Chains A and B, each alone.
Chain A
């Protein structure tokens, strides 16, 4: 899975199970209403049903735990590396870029590793693994990147670490707040800018003023 939280594998199975469950229920209700045949359900059938439910609960919990732990493992790995004085090249394979994000009333400020600030765009390379360290110091905000399948709630005072795999296709992708944070909530939007291959050199030269590049 690219983004550990992406809708693939176990997640998709669970959504399919839920859809199946809904259809089963509605068909059962329709059958009870309109079928000619009557049926006195035996009580043991309900117990079987409950056992089936318990199995589903176990599977759902297991799947959620495994998926989320895999997502968190990447963050732990980074935390270990981040504490040591390593050059940026050595961090490759964990995260290609680290962006600090300040969520405020009402907008996002993105600060990249060269301490450059942008008020409306997080600039990344195609397919890059990016770590966002999101913080808020006023009210509860949300942080959602639809294309990266991630949504989070940021309490004031917390630093919440979230990572994404940037899309391969260059372009502008929406970043938005999803928690109501005051009257300007609807305007609290920004862009995830995935840079194209041809304009790459130009942009990088503008951005990289410091010692090295985090990505080629």
Chain B
């Protein structure tokens, strides 16, 4: 009996948690299926309306922005290119750098180690203005390279991969050496397959991180052609139900990734704990 009561309390508390996390999004979603006129007279809605297809297709394909040069579809494309670029570049450079640090004798190793890890102390937000100046000197404003490179300049993934490599038993390398494996082969044939889960977790993390960037695209894109979804939200013009629909669409890609790959993601967190 007491067991039954305590489990009821557990479910009750969890349900309140669910209400807090889910209801705000549901209200925005429900409101996004009504016409703007209806929202303007009746406020936010709990129940679905019947303008779903109208609103969403209008937002997706309509030219918007100040100069009417971009559609939401193009913004999604830009966000995908940016997020994939950031995730791919971070994974590749970090995997390689961590390998160089762990499996080789490096001259000035301590110096290089600090050169890489001190960067964890300086998030992009702290160097935003000088970064912009550097990018304009390199003629990278309004390019995908400009959106991707400064955000990939992060050592957080190197730190994770380094921890992971250090946990791999030395016997593996000894055995490989006996077989006469060279360093490149060892990296490609042994370490990368072993790090698959880690790679996936880091990729997911960096993809969501890249997709969710707001300040950097805001500064780096003076041409509407390069607007991304998250920054477009603030600058997009349109009726209130259009904006609701855009808010809902903007969160779909990262949310789907996290929901479907949560096991992988959590495993990745665990491996380096």
Asked if A and B are interacting partners, one says: no
